[in-house]
Amino acid sequence: MRAVLSAWFAAALVAALAVCTLKVVAPAIDQGEPVDEYAQVLRVHLPWLLFCAFMAVTSGSYVRDRNGGLGRVVATLPVPVLGAVAAAALGIPFSDTTVGLVLHLIEAVLGVALGLALSRSLSRRWAAEAVDAGRRGDRRKVRR
């Protein structure tokens, strides 16, 4: 339980940074002006997706020893979802509408999937490198 609480706390710090960043970089909505979709995607949705992936990597590093994928998802998904709801509650442009909230929730799920896959592949790679480094150390001991 301690690992899950630590994962939530670390991801909450990243979520706070994400919401503050969205508050600053989100384009303003002017009444009667056409919506610039490229600015919306590049300044709101893409950063949120990347922050959600980073939240999942941060959380996944605490719970990487869990055997089930469901345990990792339960440990990483609540913070990005609550971050999307917080962005909507704070009135961040393109996040405070129903469509914007649904898009942020979808991006949170995709970001968590991407972040967990990245976290898992990095931990496997580091474990393989550690085992390989240990074997090289054993060979050096044998030669002496």
Please, which pLDDT band fits residue 67 given cuts at 50, 70 and 90?
low
Please, which pLDDT band fits residue 106 given cuts at 50, 70 and 90?
very high
Residue 72's pLDDT is 83
Residue 57 CB neighbour total at 10 angstroms: 23
Segment 94-115 mean pLDDT: 90
Are residues 115 and 53 in contact, defined by beta-carbon separation less than 8 angstroms? yes
Joined tokens for residue 86: 């917080």
Segment 127-144 mean pLDDT: 68
Residue 143 has pLDDT above 70, yes or no: no
Please, which pLDDT band fits residue 138 given cuts at 50, 70 and 90?
low
Distance of CA 131 to the CA centre of its chain: 28
Instruction: Indicate left, alpha or beta for 91 from its phi (over 0: left) and psi (-120 to 50: alpha).
Output: left
User: For the purposes of burial, counting CB atoms within 10 Å of the CB of 65, is it exposed (0-12), middle (13-18) or buried (19 or more)?
Assistant: exposed
Taking Cα atoms as reference points, which of 119, 45, 36 lies closest to residue 76? 119
Among the residue ranges 45-59, 76-90, 111-125, the one predicted with the least confidence is: 111-125
Instruction: Phi first, then psi: give them for residue 55, nearest 5 degrees.
Output: -60, -40
The C-alpha angle with vertex 126 and arms to 120 and 129, in degrees rounded to 5, equals 140
Segment 25-37 mean pLDDT: 76
Residue 16 has pLDDT above 90, yes or no: yes
